């Protein structure tokens, strides 16, 4: 057979195209397998972190902290996206480290040592996946039969991934996180970090404030022991005392305030109108562990900052009932409640009242119409409380962090305010006020009186205002 010049050139072009196609297939297979199977979970001092590299992307690192959001920074050169996702927090490990007095320097050194180990393991894993992915895709597409081609495919796949990772490590700049970008609720992180810094450096100050709160409460209640609930309680029959709280927002001082009031006033029950946490994370529930063992029945209705995890935590507490279009009784008083629609989402949502859809309100109204008229209705948002006021003689709400007692039609609407002074931020906010309400309620005649309690940490002053309700 005679080959002319054009045939030879075409043959060479085909070989070049085939070689290019094989290389492209190797790269595609390596990238695909690293993307699909390259994730690895590592333990960093009680934090389970899922590490993933995306070989097709821009040179940045994204730290995902569900449900708060994510932090990202341009940390390196090359087409590799590094993702770190917090999967689990081992609170027992962290608590043990804090209890044993482990220093920050010791923790950092331990993390650095462990990081070297899992980084090597991670790189080897990615290179192995790159080699396997390249081999699988090349075999499927090109069906080579010669061992040198197969071996070259494996080595090239591993080399492609290895070079990408080496380039990432060599150019990686941790200092890039000095200028991070925030997405989601974590956008509040700069303020949160400043608060955290103040908290860590002023733990004794916080502890002293907590002691002052408790001491002042005890002194106040001791001086009130001689005050009767009503001027002539015998005429009122049996009167129940129910502590109304809302918007604790993970503030441990608010929890201590709740505990002290419940014990000193010897209340018959507690109604919590929601927003137990700020971000609805399971970790935040550690701040309210002291809510356990209060010895009285607790009723919880979730707010917009709560999540299914928070609701599950509360449902698991002793003597606690979580209401969502359900009813229960406290000392002969029928209480019903409806959870905020945003509490069903794993991501706590906006504060705007417009997020309550009309069909959701109508669904609650329809449910109430089918129920026996309750004594007390509990919903988190005031606008919903006003909308549903016709279905109960007394409605408990929250959300605004402003204590109030108002009449709306024939109903009384009580907002205890923020028992947590708007959350951890309340520890240092000049406008933060801790508040709660003790409701005196007769199963026979209805609401009798309400004690509006406020504590201003700036002036260190307590106030208690008694408001007579109904025909008193």
Residue 471 has pLDDT above 90, yes or no: no
- Around Cβ 334, how many Cβ atoms within 10 Å? 17
The gap from C-alpha 375 to its chain's centroid, in whole angstroms, comes to 32
Confidence tier at 357 by pLDDT (50, 70, 90) = low
Question: What pLDDT is attached to residue 347?
Answer: 57
Residue 163 has pLDDT above 50, yes or no: yes
Confidence tier at 340 by pLDDT (50, 70, 90) = confident
Question: What pLDDT is attached to residue 273?
Answer: 95
Residue 59 has pLDDT above 80, yes or no: yes
Taking residues 140-155, report their average pLDDT.
90
Query: For the chain, which domains are there?
Result: 12-194 (no CATH), 212-224+236-346+358-468 (3.60.21.10)
Strands 333-337 and 376-378: parallel
Residue 26 has pLDDT above 90, yes or no: yes
Residue 444 has pLDDT above 80, yes or no: yes
Question: What pLDDT is attached to residue 267?
Answer: 92
Taking residues 161-170, report their average pLDDT.
89
**Residue 123 burial (C-beta neighbours within 10 Å; 0-12, 13-18, 19+):** middle
Average confidence score pLDDT of the chain: 79
Largest CA distance in the chain: 122
Q: Determine contact, residues 439/405, Cβ cutoff 8 Å.
A: no
Question: What pLDDT is attached to residue 180?
Answer: 77
Residue 28 has pLDDT above 90, yes or no: yes
Distance set, CA 365 to CA 301, 329, 370, 429 (Å): 17, 20, 9, 38
What pLDDT digit, counting tens, does each position of 413-432 carry?
999 999 988 765 555 455 67
Label residues 395-434 b or e (16+ Cβ within 10 Å = b). Answer: bbbbbbbebebeeeeebbbbbbbbbbbbbbbbbbeeebbb
Percent of the chain with pLDDT over 70: 73
Residue 313 has pLDDT above 50, yes or no: yes
Q: Between 164 and 343, where is the model more confident?
A: 164
Confidence tier at 463 by pLDDT (50, 70, 90) = confident
Residue 355 has pLDDT above 80, yes or no: no
Taking residues 286-293, report their average pLDDT.
73
The torsion angle over the Cα atoms of residues 72, 74, 78 and 81, rounded to 10 degrees, is: 0
Q: Determine contact, residues 41/50, Cβ cutoff 8 Å.
A: yes
For the ranges 99-108, 251-260, 275-284, 441-450, the lowest mean pLDDT is seen at 99-108
Alpha helix stretches (DSSP H) within 316-439: 358-369, 382-387
Question: What pLDDT is attached to residue 424?
Answer: 58
Question: What pLDDT is attached to residue 229?
Answer: 46
Q: What is the pTM of this model?
A: 0.60
Taking residues 309-326, report their average pLDDT.
90
For the ranges 174-188, 192-206, 267-281, the lowest mean pLDDT is seen at 192-206
CA separation for the pair 257, 434 (Å, rounded): 8
Residue 44 has pLDDT above 90, yes or no: no
Residue 353 has pLDDT above 60, yes or no: no
For the ranges 29-43, 125-139, 405-419, 453-467, the lowest mean pLDDT is seen at 453-467
* Residue tagged 């000049």 (tokens): 430
What pLDDT digit, counting tens, does each position of 224-274 carry?
544 444 444 444 568 899 999 999 988 888 888 888 888 888 899 999 999
């Amino acid at each position: 057979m005679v080959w002319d010049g054009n045939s030879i050139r075409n043959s060479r072009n085909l070989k070049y195209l085939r070689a290019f196609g094989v290389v492209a297939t190797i790269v595609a297979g390596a990238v695909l397998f690293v993307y699909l199977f390259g994730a690895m979970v590592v333990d960093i001092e009680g934090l389970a972190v899922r590490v993933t590299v995306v070989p097709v992307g821009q040179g940045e690192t994204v730290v995902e902290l569900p449900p708060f959001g994510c932090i990202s920074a341009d940390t390196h050169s090359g087409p590799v996206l590094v993702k770190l996702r917090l999967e689990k927090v081992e609170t027992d490990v962290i608590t043990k480290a804090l209890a044993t007095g482990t220093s920050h320097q010791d923790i950092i050194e331990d993390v650095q040592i462990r990081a070297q180990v899992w980084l090597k393991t991670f790189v080897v894993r990615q290179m192995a996946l790159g080699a396997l992915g390249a081999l699988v895709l090349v075999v499927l597409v090109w069906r080579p039969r010669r061992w040198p081609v197969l071996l070259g495919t494996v080595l090239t796949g591993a080399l492609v991934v290895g070079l990408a990772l080496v380039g990432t490590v060599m150019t990686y700049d941790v200092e890039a996180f000095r200028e991070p970008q925030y997405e989601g609720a974590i956008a509040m992180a700069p303020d949160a970090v400043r608060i955290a810094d103040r908290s860590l450096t002023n733990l004794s100050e916080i502890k002293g404030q907590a002691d002052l709160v408790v001491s002042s409460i005890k002194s106040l209640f001791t001086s009130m022991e001689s005050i009767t609930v009503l001027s002539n309680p015998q005429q009122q029959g049996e009167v129940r005392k129910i502590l109304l709280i809302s918007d604790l927002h993970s503030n441990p001082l608010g929890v201590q305030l709740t505990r002290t009031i419940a014990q000193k006033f010897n209340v018959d029950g507690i109604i919590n109108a929601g927003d137990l946490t700020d971000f609805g994370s399971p970790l935040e529930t550690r701040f309210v562990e002291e809510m356990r063992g209060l010895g009285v029945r607790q009723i919880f209705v979730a707010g917009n900052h709560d999540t299914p995890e928070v609701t599950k935590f509360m449902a698991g507490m002793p003597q606690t009932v979580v209401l969502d279009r359900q009813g229960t009784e406290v000392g002969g008083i029928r209480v019903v409640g409806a959870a905020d629609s945003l509490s069903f989402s794993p991501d706590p949502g906006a504060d705007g009242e417009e997020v309550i859809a009309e069909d959701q309100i109508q669904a609650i109204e329809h449910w109430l119409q089918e129920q026996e008229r309750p004594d007390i209705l509990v919903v988190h948002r005031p606008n919903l409380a006003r909308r549903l006021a016709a279905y109960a003689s007394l409605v408990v709400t929250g959300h605004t962090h402003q204590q109030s007692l108002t009449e709306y039609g024939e109903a009384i609407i009580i907002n205890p305010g923020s028992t947590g002074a708007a959350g951890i931020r309340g520890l240092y906010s000049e406008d933060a006020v801790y508040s709660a309400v003790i409701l005196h309620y007769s199963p026979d005649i209805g609401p009798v009186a309400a004690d509006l309690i406020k504590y201003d940490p700036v002036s260190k002053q307590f106030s208690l205002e008694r408001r007579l309700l109904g025909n008193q």
